[in-house]
Structure 1
Amino acid sequence: MSAVLADPVNAALNAALPVAGGWPLLNPMPDDEPITPDAFPFHALGPILGAAARAIAHDVQAPDSLAGGSVLAAAGLASSPLANVYLPHGQRAPLSLFVVTGAGSGDRKSAVDAVACHEIEETRKQQARDYSKQLQDYEQDMAARKGPKESEPTKPAPKSITTGNATIEGISKLLKFQASIGVFSAEGGEMLGGHSMRDERRQSGLAFYLKGWSGESLDSLRGGEGLTVLLGRRISMHVLVQPVLLRQLLTDPLAQGQGLLARCLIAEPDTLAGTRLYRHVNPHENRDVIAYNERIRRLLETPPNFWPDGDGHELKPRDLRLNAEAQAIWVAFHNQVEVQQKNGDELEGARPFASKAAEHAARIAGVITMIDEPYAVQIGAEAMEGAIEITAFYLNEHLRLTGAGRQERQAGNLRELHAWMQRVGPMVLKKDVLQKSPRRIGRKASSLNPLLKELADRGYIREVGGEWEVRDV
């Protein structure tokens, strides 16, 4: 974060050095230099996930958070049917993760996904083959049937561990016959621009995903189908999207207002294009990737627990509790993030995401634990510390990509006020600043006075009685 407040030493020096027209030497506003993303903390993912993500990034020559997010999303999908994290205040949170990564054409999104989601894709293909065979057998049985209607064989239900471009109605139909699903797409425009996310349907589409993230019941009432109530289901999300579509999502007031962005782990790494000289390696043969795939496969093959009186697909995941040390670390992180959300502090403009940061950390810690110890019942300090470091990475990315950082907001407000005064000037009544300046800045003296003072200290404006004179620059 770059400082934006005027340097008092320079301001005093400038005031003593008048130039043409009596104006002081101009102290330019800070440049709008893009803030580079932090490095993705591979080590924080633990020995299996971290090593695999680092290997994929190296062998595919892909951006770090692209590989890290893909591995984390795959692990979350494999883990979420098996366990919940039991938070210190008694809330159970699913291990479902919503990971959204922005990367341009040629940044090897599909190549990364092919490695990170290999076992998931193999499971999806096998489910498709099984369904095709079951449907063929059903059709043959129906053709040969001679008995009464009551003896008709049951039509097989389709199953798919992932879907890339389904409506919420389609996802609901799949979840009638399976316990969990991943909305996974290496071309995120399919999901973000799909039928359920179009303008006229976006509100219900977003509400559906919010319930899925929280593990709530998925209810629908439609003509012809009646009432459907799906309990104990899990929805994960992994979307790789073009930067232009990511910008649309980040600025969508409905996605912000309903809370989808607060539930997503969003990153946009810098491109590596121009640095990727040919490397004769097969990432699938890397021993760290092989070890990771074996663990993902093991989780996918582990039968989940179901409620005995449920519909046959209502999950009853075991609890992952925080041990004493992990709980102390989690509570300290929760309190640290909470304090930084107060007015004027660093996370004031990112409260929706920051308020969920502690839960994000707990979920990630649970996923790391499941990968490292598939039958664990406790989350330890090392997993929690790593999860907090990963959450901090995504919190910084959220601040960077949404411009929600206090200093970035201050700089933006400063430029917006100056641009407005230039349009209105060269003389601007002080009362007009309070009554007519851009609403986004806040038409209050407490918001405007620090900005006016800085513009004056930098030599952009000066007081002339009841007006501000705007410098011609």
Structure 2
Amino acid sequence: MSDIVEIPFKAEGPAPLLRDPPPPLPFPLEALGPLQSPVRAVQDMTQAPAAIAAQSALSVASLAVQGFANVETLGGDAPCSLFCMTIAVSGERKSSCDGKLMKGLQDFERHLGELYSAEHADYETAEKIHAEKKKRLIVEAAGSNPDKASVATLALEDLGPAPRRPVAPNLVAMDPTFEGLLKLFHIGRPSLGVFTDEAGGFIGGHAMNSDNRLKTMAGMSKLWDGAPVDRTRAGDGAQTFRGRRLAAHLMMQPIVARPLLADPQAAGQGFLARFLLTEPASHIGTRLRRGHSIDSERAVEEFARRLQKTLSTPLPVDDDKPQELRPRRLPLSADAKELLWQFFEHVEQRQGKGQEYERVTAFASKAPEQAARIAGVLALWGAPDVAEVCGEDMMSGVMLAQYYLNEARRLMDIASVSAETMDAENLRTWLLETWPHPEIVVREVVQKGPNRLRETSVVKEVFKTLEKNGWLVRLPEGAVVRGKARKEAFRIVRGCNHGV
């Protein structure tokens, strides 16, 4: 039997599964303080949305300064650590923005790596000598010759501890598991960043699979809070990491972000509310200007120089605990504290029933602290030894926190669709962008489709949604698809007129 089927023409095309999101507000570039110049420069050089460059600048600056001080907030002191999440389609020049603002960090990390190689070679030699000497003295101390045993015992007491392993040079982890992140904290610097310009590998990888998802979210949340993190492993025993700081910037495409934003575990656990979210309007198709200003190159170079200078500044640690930070307190000026109180009152009043932040209370409740953290980052970036956060920096922090709160409300509204609708949208996207054939059967989705769709009953329900909305058209029973007569098969609608 032929698999040709007459498909009625519909001028309006298939019905959209998800409504178009409301447009974002313009990013408040004027609120970036000392970061405004490099962000404008990167925007000039890449023609990417300003919010993408701003996210990179804020997260990199946070990584650079978070180890120096805890900023005063209305609820106590908090780390100057920022978690940023940037959502944009492929081709929006996320990597270009990030690369320009990360260059100083990458160069500094490379320099540390060169020093580490030499230091580690010396350490291995000294450690082997110490171990062999200790082993020999232990044998002699346990021997039958009293004189030798006495001398060996005294020598053991004078031997001292083993040489200290040099601190690993890594500043950034790309797609770590949480266990891998703790291992890096164990051997490396106490101030780290999780930065990736393609967070699909992190969100869809081992760190966030069903077995590790809660552990990763809870652990990263603790690090954002500045709280000690416990690690228990068979054979290694228990270990507690204190005085660690983590900044983060996860860049991802909307198809990766939507399920995460809709995840009740990520929302309920408070993981998402710790992020500064943005999905700026696309600039694709409008980037027609040729060239850029030489001043922009100079601004980016100056940002890299300041970044390396800040990273070169010794972190506040004790000599006997070089991997445990002792950050000072960064207080708020009277003006800054008054501004923060006013912002708190503004946000608090709008979380009530029927108010604009009723559905995003987790984000709204953290907005004042986010404002203080941002203000602390801007103050420390301007001068690492700054005595207090001034009113101007707090005004910048409030403006930016307000922008991110509005973005969170907008994006969480978009994500608040049913799981069935989200599954249908993910399959629709996979069919249009990945599946090479004009027809599809349920079994093929179960075997080769998106990871979430691995049960026949679930896939059949998703097919019903796509068929109802015009993205799939049922073929006659017995239609031949890939050489086999099929009891149930569908043609994929790829055009607005239901053609193929």
Report the TM-score range of the alignment, normalised by the length of the smaller protein: 0.7 to 0.9
Letter in 2 for 1:341: Q
Letter in 2 for 1:378: E
Letter in 1 for 2:231: S
> What's the CA shift string for 1:291-341, capped at 9, x where partnerless?
322322222111121246x63221111111111111111001001101100
C-alpha deviation, 1:244, in angstroms: 0.8
Letter in 2 for 1:224: G
Structure 1 residues 110 and 327: CA distance shift in structure 2, 3 A: same
What secondary structure, in the 3-state scheme, does the structure 2 residue paired with 1:374 have? coil
> What's the CA shift string for 1:320-369, capped at 9, x where partnerless?
11111111110010011011001111111010000000000000000111
C-alpha deviation, 1:402, in angstroms: 0.8
Task: Specify which of 73, 82, 87 is matched with residue 87 of structure 1.
Answer: 73
Letter in 2 for 1:254: Q
Equivalence for 2:264: 253
Structure 1 residues 223 and 398: CA distance shift in structure 2, 3 A: same
Instruction: Please say if 1:326 is aligned against 2:336.
Output: yes
Letter in 2 for 1:111: S
Equivalence for 1:264: 275
Instruction: Please say if 1:61 is aligned against 2:71.
Output: no
Instruction: Please say if 1:120 is aligned against 2:105.
Output: yes
> What's the CA shift string for 1:247-277, capped at 9, x where partnerless?
1210111111100111000111122111122
What secondary structure, in the 3-state scheme, does the structure 1 residue paired with 2:331 have? strand
Letter in 1 for 2:112: Q
> What's the CA shift string for 1:361-407, capped at 9, x where partnerless?
00000011111222102111111111111111111111111118xxx
Q: Within 5 Å, give how 1:220-369 maps onto structure 2.
A: 220-277=231-288, 279-281=290-292, 286-307=297-318, 311-369=321-379
Structure 2 CA distance for aligned equivalents of residues 378 and 157 of structure 1 = 31
What secondary structure, in the 3-state scheme, does the structure 1 residue paired with 2:316 have? coil
Structure 1: unaligned runs, 5 residues or longer? 1-30, 417-473
Structure 2 CA distance for aligned equivalents of residues 335 and 146 of structure 1 = 61
> What's the CA shift string for 1:183-206, capped at 9, x where partnerless?
011111122223121111101111
What secondary structure, in the 3-state scheme, does the structure 1 residue paired with 2:218 have? helix
Structure 2 CA distance for aligned equivalents of residues 83 and 335 of structure 1 = 26
C-alpha deviation, 1:284, in angstroms: 9.3
Is contact 2:316-2:327 (8 Å) kept? yes
Equivalence for 2:91: 106
Is contact 1:123-1:161 (8 Å) kept? no
Equivalence for 2:58: 72
Structure 1 residues 270 and 140: CA distance shift in structure 2, 3 A: same
> What's the CA shift string for 1:430-453, capped at 9, x where partnerless?
xxxxxxxxxxxxxxxxxxxxxxxx
What secondary structure, in the 3-state scheme, does the structure 2 residue paired with 1:81 have? coil
What secondary structure, in the 3-state scheme, does the structure 2 residue paired with 1:371 have? helix
Equivalence for 1:35: 22
TM-score (norm 2): 0.70
Structure 1 CA distance for aligned equivalents of residues 385 and 274 of structure 2 = 27
What secondary structure, in the 3-state scheme, does the structure 1 residue paired with 2:195 have? strand
Structure 1 CA distance for aligned equivalents of residues 28 and 308 of structure 2 = 24
What secondary structure, in the 3-state scheme, does the structure 2 residue paired with 1:99 have? strand
C-alpha deviation, 1:129, in angstroms: 2.8
Equivalence for 1:181: 192
Task: Specify which of 407, 411, 423 is matched with residue 401 of structure 1.
Answer: 411
Equivalence for 1:44: 31
Is contact 2:74-2:369 (8 Å) kept? no
> What's the CA shift string for 1:14-73, capped at 9, x where partnerless?
xxxxxxxxxxxxxxxxx9553111111111010x20111111112111111101111010
Q: Within 5 Å, give how 1:163-174 maps onto structure 2.
A: 163-174=173-184
Structure 2 CA distance for aligned equivalents of residues 399 and 267 of structure 1 = 10
What secondary structure, in the 3-state scheme, does the structure 1 residue paired with 2:343 have? helix
Letter in 1 for 2:310: L
Equivalence for 2:453: none
What secondary structure, in the 3-state scheme, does the structure 1 residue paired with 2:211 have? helix
Letter in 2 for 1:39: P
Q: Within 5 Å, give how 1:387-466 maps onto structure 2.
A: 387-403=397-413
Is contact 1:184-1:239 (8 Å) kept? yes
TM-score (norm 1): 0.74
Is contact 1:43-1:51 (8 Å) kept? no
Structure 1 residues 302 and 154: CA distance shift in structure 2, 3 A: closer
Residue correspondences, number = 376
Greater RCO, CA 8 A, separation 6+: 2
C-alpha deviation, 1:98, in angstroms: 0.2
Q: Within 5 Å, give how 1:8-23 maps onto structure 2.
A: none
> What's the CA shift string for 1:132-186, capped at 9, x where partnerless?
3344445667899995355886655533110101111111122123211100111
Structure 2 CA distance for aligned equivalents of residues 206 and 143 of structure 1 = 40
Structure 2 CA distance for aligned equivalents of residues 182 and 158 of structure 1 = 14
Structure 2 CA distance for aligned equivalents of residues 77 and 41 of structure 1 = 22
Is contact 1:341-1:351 (8 Å) kept? yes
